[in-house]
Amino acid sequence: MRVLVVEDDPALLKRLKADLSEAGYAVDGAANGQTAEILGDQFPYDAIVLDLGLPGRAGLDVLKNWRRRGNKTPVIILTARGQWHEKVEGFTAGADDYLGKPFHMPELVARLGAVLRRAHGRPAGPLVAGAASLDEETQEVSVGETTHRLTGVEFRLLRYFMLHPGHVLSKARITDHVYDLDADQESNVIEVYINRLRQKLGKDAIKTRRGQGYVFEPPPA
């Protein structure tokens, strides 16, 4: 899953990118409102973490502009502004959640996961599809009684597949949601990781649709 973090404090932005990457997200960053608004419209992010006190363009205005143009990407507001009326303004502008500074990273990760689950109509708890159960905290997948540790890319790829079971996903779409802007996004690399997942889930778990992409069919429970 791919996330945009918008924060004008360089040290905090660096820490957020590092910690969210460790938590299994592909992360892009923006340090001002104008850049954030462009990136949020240009790329298909799964979620956005948005500070309100931004240079150039206020975070609340950025959010309003996204929503006015039909951008429905889930947004978590991250800000030092903690008064109740400011929270109301954020939710009225289209925010999906609100976290005040200072904060604990595990709470942000938990809220981010909850927002993504709601966006895909999924319940809380481990991500389950057929016999496959994905533990997002340990980044391990269990199939029946067997548990496999996943690499960072394998984890992001499998999580995206499990949130879209039965859907035909093109290489371009997968790449957009699994890699950040700085990553090697060659499509043939995706095939390598898909083959690795097949070894762990079963060769029929991810089917190739020639000329279209891939379909995740969960291993039967």
Q: What's this model's pTM, rounded to 2 decimal places? A: 0.88
pLDDT of residue 193: 93
Range of the domain at 171: 127-216
The reply to whether 196 falls in a domain is yes
CATH number at residue 180: 1.10.10.10
CB proximity list for 219: less than 8 A, separation 6 or greater: 130, 131, 132, 143, 201, 202, 204, 205
How do the pLDDT tens digits run along the chain, 221 residues long? Answer: 899 999 999 999 999 999 999 999 999 999 999 999 999 999 999 999 999 989 999 999 999 999 999 999 999 998 876 677 778 888 999 999 999 888 999 999 999 999 998 888 887 777 898 889 999 889 999 998 899 999 999 999 999 999 999 999 999 999 999 988 877 656 578 889 999 999 999 989 999 999 999 999 988 87
Torsion of CA 121, 27, 60, 66, to 10 degrees: -60
CA-nearest of 198, 182, 101, 100 to 141 is 198
The reply to whether 105 falls in a domain is yes
The answer on 183 and 114 residing in a single domain is: no
The reply to whether 221 falls in a domain is no
pLDDT of residue 184: 63
CATH number at residue 111: 3.40.50.2300
